Structure 1
């Protein structure tokens, strides 16, 4: 089912580059001798996709090493100290630079593909499919940039050459970039295939485009854009996914993540995901990732259970926000650690010292089918799940109407019932959210997103758009109880380092050095 990933390995090698804005033209596939056949267009499209499988994005950095978990959890890995991983942020940070470089590389690959789509003689529907995916991926990479850096250069044409003159590009206002993202995604939605026709959740479908458009609209409706009219548009796009009457929640929350570990697609629940393959050994060396190794249950180097660094630990708030009987808690936050040789599961106690040492539990390597389970993993990572679409709809309904609607209650209660192991479409008066006012429901949604989507890389952006990032991080800082074990000290440092300017990252100093028209974000001057 992942047959295209082997092609991506080859393409990643042929398209790899050092710094996006300092490339020599020969580092890329030359338009003069490439893009001549349908097969070559497919290769080039795969190269756009592979950006998500690089260490600067979902193969490593975004798995707990960029501070994206915010109030849900913190990085407790000593090798990540004094960096963005623990909010000791500098414009020279290597992870921030790599994130920027990798995404602009993907944008340039998409631009080159779009500029050369017309060249081969081929089926026009297939050409449109390729165009739609390239447009969407370029827009998604801009979403990843603008939501974390603010104003950035908007490049809608490929880099002409690597000369100093060609890389002098000023920033574009964030709102203009968001508008471009929505325009390109809307065009893409008319070109890409229906979800029932795509070969895997790793390929872009109409459902993926519509769902991500709902997310874009929520980002625009909140800080710093504050275009509240976008809440209504978020409803429109979320409803297009829901009205297909195809998507539904998997009855088992745990099974969703076991599927990621076992290369099992569930397109009804997992609408779009980053694909990895193999264990880093043999022909699939470049296709494996680190999901479950970096952000898994640490404390073991066993190749049978699965090695895990385990950099992500929970906060007390995240552990305690779950209600009694919510099955998501002990899956999202591992209730055990590994001890002994061979390692066995040993449950945590309720002591304060053991709250802050609990690992993220969603990515459990023991369920992987590929052995040995060394330092690279085949686990996929979710980019859009149906539960997120439901929660986005519920939030937008509440914001537009200033009170939760029946549609909002229906959406959030499906998510909650699944979380408690109840029939998803059967009302449960003892569990269902009902009869709440606008402010109460707003808090309910914010907490529900942490319970349902914890450790999936969405929380910081949520807190930023809600305008509560700094306050929440300082609440968590104050909530870290006294103690002298390493985990508590790490949590105190992590949340203590946060400043009000951390709502965005600084423009990398390297980029400022080579692009004299690029200015640092006002918060980082």
Structure 2
């Protein structure tokens, strides 16, 4: 989608804050609900407003990456802001801390906006096909917001109609949350197009809905249903729309966005640079990840990569004996250039000059700006790829393996490996049994997807966070997990402010 079109709906956004008190005096400068939902343009503006919440710091602009990447064993925080550092160390005292509170708040604001579209657009006289598409987009987006909430908190209240300040939504179990997400996606799929014109790229597609539905099924270990969802992209009609980019790095820069490997991505822009993080026409729409994950002296270095990720990628060699090319794209460290720190460039300076006597620190390089400029800020234009086709291929292989079709799973891993110029898995490790193939998949997913927000859900799905012995093994490569308590830390604490105002909520176990 044209990045500017997200903000055509910002008149609507003033209606969107369900947590403020209901006032007696109406603001004459903003339209009331009964005045707004009149035309097809209103419907589109309402849908665009749902996408608009991706730009908030609790959307995809900032904090979501701390919860997925840094809480996993791939990353950590060495931030001087100790409360931020401790959030990733499972040492949470303040249940209202920014990392959780803003994600909760801004995701529910996105859900509120989706609920408005679903409630009011059906009554608008407009083209019926376009109306169905807008309603399907709203269901997809509501499902995506709930997917993140359910993945992080587990048991979150379901709000399926436009909320009022006095609403106290009832407690819902994780199973109920997953079921609603499945329902939204299943209903969205028939009315979503497989593609859009260039000025509408970024909107939810049929492939995006199928892929998200597959992820939802996988998290519940419903592998037969997950495979069926992925079929559309991998072996069915959707296979003509997707493929792997020849150059792995093209998935993480602003130069080749919305490419054939992108299944769903957030459309960031440097437009409105300097704008506030509020609901306003001049709100910033930039990706803040590079500022917060950027190396010291350039970014805040609040998020970093564990060294074991580098070692894992170094263990792979291409067919001609070179480094796995994904390593240089995924990680920034002292020997990004094989010749060492004197030749490794970090935002225009040699690593050895910028960090003399460095102690082996590593940063996630994906989505950093160093490939095109020598500084970072809060307004990076690099789109964030929520789901890539390579991820779909590896998930598809996992489904086949779990269903006892290990031999049939090999070709999908081989596609990913061959793009990285690695030998086929079917050539170097033929005949793996189910358990051994899963262990290999765990390796493949780190090499292909590190720093992309997939690892936390992987660990959950594999059951690695439900067993004290497995957690101890994780702690060998990520000391933060020495603080991890089975039965507690797999889920975040529900913000205390929400518990205080809603007696129907139940705090997650052991918090």
TM-score normalised by L of structure 2:
0.85
Report how far residue 393 of structure 1 moved. Answer: 0.4
- Structure 1 residues 497 and 35 mapped into 2: Cα distance closer, same or farther (>3 Å)? same
Residues 473-512 of structure 1: matches in 2 within 5 Å? Answer: 473-479=471-477, 492=479, 494-500=480-486, 501-512=488-499
| RMSD after superposition | 3.0
Partner SS state of residue 374, structure 1: coil
Structure 1 residue 396 and structure 2 residue 392: aligned? no
Distance in 1 separating the partners of 2:406 and 2:200:
35
Does the 8 A contact of 2:71 with 2:88 survive in 1? no
Match of 2:416 in 1: 415
Report how far residue 475 of structure 1 moved. Answer: 2.7
Distance in 2 separating the partners of 1:70 and 1:3:
31
Report how far residue 430 of structure 1 moved. Answer: 8.6
- Structure 1 residues 23 and 414 mapped into 2: Cα distance closer, same or farther (>3 Å)? farther
Please point out which of 41, 44, 51 is paired with 2:43. 41
- Between the two proteins, the alignment pairs up a number of residues equal to 477
Match of 1:51 in 2: 53
Cα deviation digits, residues 350-370 of structure 1 (max 9, x gap): x99743x1111112313358x
Structure 1 residue 363 and structure 2 residue 373: aligned? no
Any stretches of 5+ residues in structure 2 without a counterpart? 276-280, 318-322
Match of 2:509 in 1: 522
Distance in 1 separating the partners of 2:304 and 2:410:
32
- Structure 1 residues 190 and 92 mapped into 2: Cα distance closer, same or farther (>3 Å)? same
- Structure 1 residues 63 and 331 mapped into 2: Cα distance closer, same or farther (>3 Å)? same
Any stretches of 5+ residues in structure 1 without a counterpart? 222-229, 302-307, 481-491
Partner SS state of residue 272, structure 1: strand
Distance in 1 separating the partners of 2:292 and 2:368:
11
Structure 1 residue 255 and structure 2 residue 219: aligned? no
Query: Which stretch shows the higher mean deviation, 61-70 or 23-32?
Result: 23-32
Partner SS state of residue 284, structure 2: helix
Match of 1:457 in 2: 453
- Structure 1 residues 69 and 342 mapped into 2: Cα distance closer, same or farther (>3 Å)? closer
Residues 17-28 of structure 1: matches in 2 within 5 Å? Answer: 17=17, 20-24=18-22
Does the 8 A contact of 1:67 with 1:85 survive in 2? no
Match of 1:220 in 2: 220
Match of 1:227 in 2: none
Does the 8 A contact of 1:413 with 1:432 survive in 2? no
Does the 8 A contact of 1:272 with 1:383 survive in 2? yes
Cα deviation digits, residues 370-406 of structure 1 (max 9, x gap): x9853321111111100011011000000011x5132
Does the 8 A contact of 1:327 with 1:419 survive in 2? yes
Report how far residue 346 of structure 1 moved. Answer: 2.0
- Structure 1 residues 522 and 69 mapped into 2: Cα distance closer, same or farther (>3 Å)? closer
- Structure 1 residues 104 and 386 mapped into 2: Cα distance closer, same or farther (>3 Å)? same
Cα deviation digits, residues 205-255 of structure 1 (max 9, x gap): 00100111110110111xxxxxxxx20111111110122222110011112
Does the 8 A contact of 1:231 with 1:396 survive in 2? yes
Query: Which stretch shows the higher mean deviation, 446-455 or 327-336?
Result: 327-336
Please point out which of 290, 293, 316 is paired with 2:291. 293
Residues 94-493 of structure 1: matches in 2 within 5 Å? Answer: 94-159=98-163, 161-163=164-166, 166-167=167-168, 169-195=169-195, 197=197, 199-221=199-221, 230-242=222-234, 243=236, 244=238, 245-258=240-253, 261-262=254-255, 264-278=256-270, 280-281=273-274, 285-296=283-294, 298-301=295-298, 308-322=299-313, 323-324=316-317, 325-336=323-334, 343-346=348-351, 354-355=359-360, 357-368=361-372, 373-401=376-404, 403-406=405-408, 408-420=409-421, 428=424, 433-469=429-465, 471=469, 473-479=471-477, 492=479
Report how far residue 437 of structure 1 moved. Answer: 0.8
Distance in 2 separating the partners of 1:21 and 1:495:
35
Cα deviation digits, residues 70-127 of structure 1 (max 9, x gap): 1112112122535423322242323212211111111111111111012322111110
Distance in 1 separating the partners of 2:347 and 2:329:
23
Query: Which stretch shows the higher mean deviation, 52-61 or 280-289?
Result: 280-289
Cα deviation digits, residues 252-309 of structure 1 (max 9, x gap): 1112212xx33x324310111111111614786521221322223x1334xxxxxx22
TM-score normalised by L of structure 1:
0.83
Distance in 2 separating the partners of 1:107 and 1:341:
40
Does the 8 A contact of 1:314 with 1:360 survive in 2? yes
Match of 1:486 in 2: none
Partner SS state of residue 32, structure 1: helix
